[in-house]
Amino acid sequence: EAGVAQSPRYKIIEKRQSVAFWCNPISGHATLYWYQQILGQGPKLLIQFQNNGVVDDSQLPKDRFSAERLKGVDSTLKIQPAKLEDSAVYLCASSLGRLAGGTDTQYFGPGTRLTVL
Amino acid sequence: GENVEQHPSTLSVQEGDSAVIKCTYSDSASNYFPWYKQELGKRPQLIIDIRSNVGEKKDQRIAVTLNKTAKHFSLHITETQPEDSAVYFCAASIRIRGKLIFGQGTTLQVKP
């Protein structure tokens, strides 16, 4: 089974520039998550989609971050303008989106490591 | 707000010894508790999970225990091997299919 795909794997930008990340979830997975993982910390949810609708974006800095999931499959996360504190690994995860034995396991992609200079 | 505390932050054991990592969650509504292993530069991978209606779950050398009253859950790894060396994250879900709240991570080093 193919896993969650993300690109690019690495990105270096100057502060105030914009950047976009792409995620392709596991085929058939209705739920898609974007997490931010700062070095030495656990992942923190930015946004959760169920198909192409937003379920939770309470921790997304909406003044600079945006995300979309057109057609309920692939998703893009954008930062504009970037700040130094946005340096982190951005992880995409997906899950079936329905209760399979009472749980809905999240599978993670390899992440995009962003460095803001 | 929602919070998961994880201890210790680093753990060093000799090969063959046991390792225990403990987590505490804040919201009593949490009902799903997965554990992820993350090797350097790689994606987090689920190693075991437990639901709130179960007190203990085992899978070969790893086990997880849950104390709902105390809002504690723990990961136990027996007969540790060098390939167990990684960062381990606990997480709690406020609702099934909801977002995961992760702990800060534990760096486990297994010395040969």
The tokens for A57 are 């974006």
CA distance B102 to chain A (A): 5
Give the pLDDT mean for A77-88: 97
Nearest CA in chain A to B52: A102
Are the beta carbons of B108 and B88 closer than 8 angstroms?
A: yes
Are the beta carbons of A34 and A19 closer than 8 angstroms?
A: no
Give the pLDDT mean for B28-55: 91
If pLDDT is split at 50, 70 and 90, which confidence band does B77 have?
A: very high
From chain B, pick out residues whose CB is under 8 angstroms from the CB of A42. 4, 6, 89, 91, 102-105
What's the sign of the alpha-carbon dihedral B39, B41, B42, B43?
positive
How many C-beta atoms lie closer than 10 Å to residue B61's C-beta?
13
If pLDDT is split at 50, 70 and 90, which confidence band does A98 have?
A: low
